[in-house]
C-alpha cells in the first residue's frame, strides 16, 4: 500500500507548526495589485497589506493557482511513491478545485491513473484547515487513499464554521457577497454573521461588535453541545478579541484550541479587517495527528 500525501492551498491559515507537523504540501493562490502578481504564501507583512486595504483604495484582485502550479506540486509526490489527496477552498468561491482537477487529468494522461483524488472542501479558512488536518491524521495513521478521502468527506460534513464581519463592504466590493446580497442596502452598518457552505451564507445580523463577540461564544457552546470538541479561532486584525474569544473557549471546552491564527490576504481582501470567527469538528476526526 502506497503512503498518502495531503496537498492543499494557501487559504487554510493553519499555523506553520501545524502544517509542518501534518506534513501538508501547499499550493499558493495569488494576489494581483499594481500590475504585479504575488503568491499569497510569500505575503508575510500583514500589517502593510491590511493597512493599505483599510485606506480605501482599489481592492487587490485574487486568482487561483495555475494548473502548472498543481502539476509542480503533484509530480514529486507521485515520483516518490505517494498517492495524493488534494483538498481545497470551496469551488463556490474559487476555481482552485477545478484547476486541481485539470492537473490531475493531465497527469493521468501521462501515466498516473487513480493516484490523485481532489476534494472540494465546500468551505474556507478554519473549515478547510480542519478538513485538511483530519485527512492528514488518517494518512499518518497508515490509511490508504480511499480511507483518507472518506475521512476528509466525513470532516467536511461535520465541520461547522461561523464568522462575524465588521462590515459587508469588502464582500460587496470584491464581488463575493453570495446569498448575503439580500442584506445590502442600509445593512452596511450592521455586523453580519456568516458561514460558508459552498458559498458565503448569511446566518444573522447584529448591531455591535460586542454582540458579535457574544454570538461567537454562543456558537462555541453549540459546538461543545454537539460534540465538536476540536475548536479553532481565527481573526483579521483583531488579535486581542481573538485572544479573549480563545479564553472563553478554554472555559467552555476545558481544552486548548487546535489553533488560533490570522486569516491571510486572499480571503482577507473580501472580509476586511475586524473579522472574528470560530469553528470546530469532533476531535475524534483528528486522532492520529
Look up the CATH number of the domain holding residue 275. Answer: 3.30.1180.10
Q: Do 37 and 108 fall into the same domain?
A: yes
pLDDT tens-digit readout, 45-101: 999 999 888 886 678 899 999 999 999 999 999 999 999 999 999 999 999 999 999
Note the pLDDT of residue 182: 46
> Do 111 and 16 fall within a single domain?
yes
Residues 47, 22 share a domain? yes
Do 28 and 40 reside in the same domain of the chain?
Answer: yes
Position 185 scores a pLDDT of 46
**166 in the same domain as 266:** yes
Reported as type and span, the H/E element at residue 64 is none
For residues 149 and 164, state if they share a domain.
no
Nearest to 128 by CA among 91, 169, 180: 91
Q: Which residues pair with 36 in a beta bridge?
A: 33
- What is the chain's pLDDT, residue by residue, as a tens digit (289 residues)? 799 999 999 999 999 999 999 999 999 999 998 888 999 999 999 999 998 888 866 788 999 999 999 999 999 999 999 999 999 999 999 999 999 999 999 999 988 788 999 999 999 999 999 999 999 999 999 999 999 999 999 999 999 999 999 887 787 775 555 545 545 444 556 888 999 888 888 899 898 999 999 999 999 999 999 999 999 999 999 999 999 999 999 999 999 999 999 999 999 998 989 999 999 999 999 998 8
**Same domain (yes/no): 164, 79:** no
Judgement on whether residues 96 and 198 belong to the same structural domain of the protein: no
Is residue 126 domain-shared with residue 260, that is, in the same domain? no
269 and 188 fall within a common domain: yes
Q: In the listed set 157, 186, 218, which residue is the last one of a domain according to the structure?
A: 157
Q: Do residues 172 and 277 share a domain?
A: yes
The number of domains in the chain is: 2
Question: How many angstroms separate the CA atoms of 84 and 224, rounded?
Answer: 32
The residue out of 103, 134, 157 marking a domain boundary is 157
Rg (alpha carbons) of the chain, rounded to whole number: 19
pLDDT for residue 186 = 47
Give dist(CA 245, CA 25) in Å, integer.
Answer: 30
Other residues' Cβ atoms within 10 Å of the Cβ of residue 58: 8
Q: Which of 127, 157, 187 is the last residue of a domain?
A: 157
* Per-residue model confidence (pLDDT) at position 120: 97
Residues 164 and 249 in one domain: yes
Place of cell 494581483: 32
Domain range holding 167? Answer: 160-286
Amino acid at each position: 500500500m502506497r503512503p498518502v500525501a495531503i496537498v492543499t492551498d494557501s487559504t487554510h491559515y493553519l499555523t506553520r507548526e501545524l502544517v509542518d507537523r501534518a506534513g501538508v504540501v501547499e499550493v499558493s493562490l495569488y494576489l494581483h495589485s499594481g500590475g504585479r502578481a504575488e503568491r499569497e504564501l510569500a505575503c508575510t507583512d500583514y500589517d502593510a497589506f491590511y493597512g493599505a486595504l483599510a485606506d480605501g483604495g482599489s481592492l487587490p484582485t485574487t486568482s487561483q493557482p495555475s494548473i502548472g502550479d498543481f502539476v509542480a506540486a503533484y509530480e514529486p509526490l507521485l515520483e516518490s511513491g505517494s498517492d495524493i489527496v488534494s483538498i481545497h477552498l470551496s469551488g463556490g468561491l474559487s476555481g482552485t478545485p477545478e484547476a486541481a482537477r485539470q492537473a490531475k487529468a493531465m497527469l493521468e494522461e501521462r501515466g498516473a491513473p487513480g493516484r490523485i483524488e481532489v476534494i472540494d472542501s465546500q468551505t474556507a479558512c478554519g473549515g478547510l484547515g480542519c478538513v485538511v488536518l483530519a485527512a492528514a491524521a488518517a494518512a499518518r495513521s497508515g490509511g490508504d487513499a480511499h480511507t483518507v478521502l472518506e475521512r476528509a468527506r466525513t470532516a467536511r460534513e461535520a465541520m461547522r464554521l461561523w464568522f462575524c464581519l465588521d462590515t459587508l463592504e469588502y464582500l460587496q466590493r470584491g464581488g463575493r457577497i453570495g446569498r448575503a446580497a439580500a442584506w445590502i442596502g442600509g445593512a452596511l452598518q450592521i455586523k453580519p454573521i456568516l458561514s460558508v457552505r459552498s458559498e458565503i451564507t448569511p446566518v444573522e445580523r447584529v448591531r455591535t461588535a460586542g454582540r458579535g463577540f457574544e454570538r461567537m461564544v454562543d456558537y462555541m457552546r453549540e459546538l461543545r453541545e454537539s460534540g465538536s470538541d476540536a475548536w479553532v479561532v481565527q481573526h483579521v486584525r483583531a488579535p486581542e478579541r481573538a485572544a479573549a474569544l480563545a479564553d472563553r473557549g478554554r472555559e467552555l471546552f476545558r481544552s486548548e484550541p487546535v489553533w488560533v491564527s490570522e486569516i491571510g490576504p486572499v480571503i482577507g481582501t473580501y472580509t476586511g479587517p475586524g473579522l472574528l470567527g470560530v469553528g470546530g469538528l469532533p476531535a475524534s476526526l483528528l486522532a492520529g495527528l
